[in-house]
A and B are shown apart, each in its own frame.
Chain A
Amino acid sequence: MTACPFGTRRTRRWIPWLSISVPALGWLVFVLYPSAATVYYSLTQYSGVPGAPVDYCGLCNYRMAFTSVSGPTWEALKVTLVYAAGVTVLQIVFGLGLAMLLNRRGRMFSLYRALVFMPQIFSVTIVGALFSLILDPITGPAEKILHGLFGASSAFLGDSNISLLLIILINVWMFTGYTMLIYIAGLRRIPRELYEAAALDGCGWWSRFRRITWPMLAASTTVNVFLTAMGCLGEYALIILLTDGQFGTQTIGMYMFQQAFGQQSQLGYGSMLAMLQFAMTLVIGGVVLWALRRREVQL
């Protein structure tokens, strides 16, 4: 602890407290309290209707969620896992591929990087409108291409077999640019001498990648996997726009939003779902971080 040098002898003791008072109070009221209250709400049947009782009911929501193994909550947990795993794997593959392709000097390459990054700055509403248009089963170009090439047709986002995959791909389209940039930052930190030495030893493209690039990017991979997986576990804004949780795309976040702010207004059940999402984030985040850190040390 160091003393604050500012102010007179009398004021310097409370100046630091004054400094943090407003942001800390705001934090308590609008961040910490809502988080803590979620735990309590998840133990109630609160409907959120003004004047209605909070109705404490213990673990009733948790019991209801897990009584049947085929219930919507289990389904949502599975969908969330597939969604998060799919986006993370694809985004790492495409992000790394694009980073290695576009990490070159020249004005054109800086334009290419900007184009790949661009979808990131659009609101989910814009991206949702864009892909609803492209994947429209009657007037969309995806339909025309599919029909022209294979004579087939599809309901796209309305087809339960592929809608989750499509949403995964749209998510990857939107955020690959960020993954790419983190990888580019990593690539720029790899010393050139390593590649020169490898070239002298006659290493081919693949062994250079496997022995130098991939291990040297371990820290960037940790950041990318962690950020992408954590982001996906809580993401549902894009799903609201594209399918509204129908056709096998009900993630846990989407289910929570629908329960709490849809027609039912089940704030208690919704809070329980928020708790499940939190537990999932905690477990997966912890495991991912632990595994990747260990890997970083080994490589």
Chain B
Amino acid sequence: MRRSARDRLLRALGVHSLSFVISAGLFALPIVYLALQAFKSYPEFLQNPTGLPSSWTFANFTSAWTEGDFGPELINSLVYALIPDVVTLLLGVFLAFPISRGYFRFSNVLYAFFVFSGFLPAGLIPLFVEARALHLYNNMVGYLVLTSFAGAGFFFFVGYIKSIPREIDEAAALEGCGYFRFITRIIIPQMRPALAAFAVFGFVASWNNLILPLVMLSNQSLWPVTRGLYGFMSQYTTQWPLIAAGTVIVAIPVLILFGLLQRHLVEGVAGGAVAGAQPVTQGPPSTTDAA
């Protein structure tokens, strides 16, 4: 009996240390390593590229900040992530509600149509030509228009709205509540958990998008931070401390967001709350995300 208690303790210890080594060593350490390089001067990095910094300097952060234009680019990123996120969710609800309630003769056909169009060929090339023809190419408003119609979460919303009892609709309509007011005041608050999950995933996906800014935005003043960091990397090819500093600057806002929402994100997926949701960047190809 005593022996098995000791065995169990050893086993628990083994599981704990294995988990720690994998998650910290494999997943956190590379990022910490990168961050450490940012505190070395370039001559020191050349002499001692892999060790700890001997004299810590913040010079890389200040010069990365000024030379990389990360300040304005962070603001661009915020705009490109927030506005399409809000618009897409709002439009998604207005699209999903009548289809979910079966107000059209062919509601099911419409539903299938919208779902299957997510599996059509990637339309990045015609989208580029179209954007140029419609003067949406290389300007901020145009980029926002292009990204606001991706239709994120539409078919998840249809299922979710079905779980909201129809009796509410009829009661509200009898009371004289209008359609628009009903959706914004009753349906949207009811959908808060689903909308929150998709808002976070949509925000992260837009914030991280590299391909679309690469194709659609050529002026540096319009770049989001992902595109900016890519340009910064090609400009300072092997000056790793400077690039590391730039990367840390770009990573910090995302890390803060992750720290705040970590519980909801991780436990949300693990608990199956957003089982139908696409992962942040991998997923079935759609014009704007997978492109």
Indicate if B55 sits at the interface (CB-CB under 8 A): no
Q: CB-CB < 8 A to A23: which residues of B? A: 91-92, 94-95, 149, 151, 154
Chain B residues numbered 81-119 whose CB sits less than 8 Å from any CB in chain A = 91-92, 94-95, 97-99, 101-105, 107, 110, 114, 117, 119
Q: CB-CB < 8 A to A22: which residues of B? A: 91, 94
Cross-interface CB contact of B251 among A24, A32, A122, cutoff 8 Å? A122
Cross-interface CB contact of B102 among A1, A35, A223, cutoff 8 Å? A1
CA distance A261 to B26 in the complex (A): 35
Q: CB-CB < 8 A to B247: which residues of A? A: 126, 129-130
Chain B residues numbered 232-291 whose CB sits less than 8 Å from any CB in chain A = 233, 238, 240, 243-244, 246-247, 250-251, 254, 257-258, 262-263, 265-267, 269-272, 275, 278-288, 290
Taking the closest CB of chain A, its distance from the CB of B90, in whole angstroms, is 9
Indicate if A53 sits at the interface (CB-CB under 8 A): no
Q: CB-CB < 8 A to B28: which residues of A? A: 115, 118
CA distance A232 to B283 in the complex (A): 8
Whether the pair B279, A175 counts as a contact (CB closer than 8 A) is yes
Selected interface stretch from B2-10, B43-51, B190-198: B43-51
Whether the pair B229, A125 counts as a contact (CB closer than 8 A) is yes
Knowing A230-B283, A241-B230, A270-B125 touch, does A121 contact B151 (C-beta < 8 A)? no
What string of 1s and 0s marks CB contacts (under 8 Å) between A121-147 and chain B? 111111011111110101111001000
Q: CB-CB < 8 A to A102: which residues of B? A: 19, 23
Whether the pair A101, B179 counts as a contact (CB closer than 8 A) is no
Whether the pair A126, B270 counts as a contact (CB closer than 8 A) is no
Cross-interface CB contact of A32 among B117, B146, B226, B267, cutoff 8 Å? B117
Which secondary structure characterizes the binding site on chain A?
helix
Interchain residue pairs with CB less than 8 A apart (18): A4-B98, A5-B170, A6-B173, A6-B177, A16-B104, A41-B126, A101-B22, A117-B265, A123-B226, A124-B226, A125-B208, A133-B37, A134-B30, A138-B49, A139-B45, A185-B272, A189-B272, A237-B281
Residues on A facing B (Cβ under 8 Å): 1-7, 15-16, 19-20, 22-24, 26-27, 29-39, 41, 46, 48, 50, 98, 101-102, 104, 108-126, 128-134, 136, 138-141, 144, 173, 175, 177-178, 181-182, 184-185, 188-189, 223, 227-228, 230-237, 240-241, 253, 256-257, 260-261, 267, 270-271, 274-275, 277-278, 281-282, 285
